[in-house]
Amino acid sequence: MAEESDFEPERQGAAQTFQRHERGHISCLPLEVLTDTFAHLLPESLAIDDIISAHELESDWCLHRRRNHDDIIHISHVCRSWRSICLTTSPLWSLLWITDEDCFAPRTEEFVNRSGNMTLEVAVRDEIFRKKDFLSNKEDPNSFNGPLIHPLLKFFSLVPHALQRMKTLRVCSRFSPTQDFTSYFDKPAPLLESFALYVDSLSTDDIETTTHILPSPLFGGSTPSLRKLSIHGADVPWTSDIFKNLTFLCICRDERRERNDVSVNLLLQILENCPEIVSLEIGFAGPTLPVGDRMNESSLTPKLAVSFLKNINLYGMRGMAPVVAFLSRLQTPRLQTLIVGHLGLSLLSIDDFLPQTVTFDPRSNLCNCIGIDVDPGCGWVIAEQFIVDDLETKMTLDPKYFSLRWLQRTKSSFKRRINCLNDDTGDFEFPEGIPDDFRTLSLTFLQRMCPSPETIRALTIRGSDSALDELAFEGG
Integer Cα distance of 191 and 166 in angstroms = 6
Residues in the chain, overall count: 476
- How would you class 205 by CB atoms within 10 Å of its CB: exposed for 0-12, middle for 13-18, buried for 19 or more? exposed
Residue 32: what pLDDT? 84
Integer Cα distance of 212 and 201 in angstroms = 11
Q: State the pairing for strand pair 369-375/380-387.
A: antiparallel
- Of 215, 258, 257, give the one whose Cα is nearest residue 240: 215
- Of 291, 290, 338, give the one whose Cα is nearest residue 315: 338
Integer Cα distance of 128 and 144 in angstroms = 8
Question: Which residue type does 439 have?
Answer: R
Residue 95: what pLDDT? 87
Integer Cα distance of 417 and 164 in angstroms = 40
Give yes or no for residue 360 having a pLDDT over 80.
yes
- Across 382-405, average pLDDT: 83
Continuous segment of H or E residues that includes residue 160 = none
Check: CB of residue 123 under 8 Å from CB of residue 170: yes
Residue 454: what pLDDT? 85
Give yes or no for residue 142 having a pLDDT over 80.
no
Residue 432: what pLDDT? 42
- Of 134, 119, 216, 234, give the one whose Cα is nearest residue 166: 119
Give yes or no for residue 470 having a pLDDT over 80.
no
- Across 78-90, average pLDDT: 87
Residue 91: what pLDDT? 87
- Of 179, 173, 51, 165, give the one whose Cα is nearest residue 112: 165
- Of 334, 338, 286, 293, give the one whose Cα is nearest residue 312: 338
Which of 61-65, 150-154, 185-189 comes out lowest in average pLDDT? 61-65
Q: Is 232 helix (H, G, I), strand (E, B) or coil?
A: strand
- Beta strands per DSSP E along 148-278: 166-173, 194-199, 212-213, 228-232, 234-235, 248-252
Which of 68-77, 127-136, 374-383 comes out lowest in average pLDDT? 127-136
Question: In the chain, what are the domain boundaries?
Answer: 41-135+145-260, 361-476
- Beta strands per DSSP E along 284-358: 304-305, 311-317, 330-331, 337-342
- Across 157-161, average pLDDT: 85
Residue 148: what pLDDT? 52
Choice between 208 and 97, residue whose per-residue pLDDT is larger: 97
- Of 96, 111, 93, 119, give the one whose Cα is nearest residue 38: 93
Residue 64: what pLDDT? 47
% of residues, the chain, pLDDT over 70: 73
Integer Cα distance of 118 and 407 in angstroms = 41
Choice between 432 and 182, residue whose per-residue pLDDT is larger: 182
- Predicted confidence band of residue 37 (pLDDT cuts 50, 70, 90): confident
- Predicted confidence band of residue 23 (pLDDT cuts 50, 70, 90): low
Choice between 340 and 178, residue whose per-residue pLDDT is larger: 340
Residue 13: what pLDDT? 52
Give yes or no for residue 288 having a pLDDT over 90.
yes
Q: What is the mean pLDDT of the chain?
A: 78
Residue 273: what pLDDT? 97
What's this model's pTM, rounded to 2 decimal places?
Answer: 0.83
Check: CB of residue 285 under 8 Å from CB of residue 253: yes
Which of 3-7, 182-186, 429-433 comes out lowest in average pLDDT? 429-433
What b/e string do you get for 418-435 counting C-beta neighbours within 10 Å, with b at 16 or more?
Answer: bbbbbbeeeeeebeeeee
Which of 135-144, 207-216, 243-252, 419-428 comes out lowest in average pLDDT? 135-144
- Across 196-206, average pLDDT: 66
Residue 476: what pLDDT? 38
% of residues, the chain, pLDDT over 90: 33
Angle between helices 264-272 and 321-328 (to 10 degrees): 30
Choice between 106 and 366, residue whose per-residue pLDDT is larger: 366
Residue 155: what pLDDT? 84
- Of 57, 61, 50, 48, give the one whose Cα is nearest residue 316: 57
CA dihedral 21, 27, 30, 31 (to 10 degrees): -170
Choice between 200 and 9, residue whose per-residue pLDDT is larger: 200
Integer Cα distance of 152 and 105 in angstroms = 11
Integer Cα distance of 285 and 228 in angstroms = 19
- 108-121 pLDDT, tens per residue? 888 888 999 999 99
What b/e string do you get for 325-361 counting C-beta neighbours within 10 Å, with b at 16 or more?
Answer: bbbbbbebebbbbbbbbbbebebeebebbbeeebebb
- Across 299-317, average pLDDT: 90
Residue 56: what pLDDT? 43
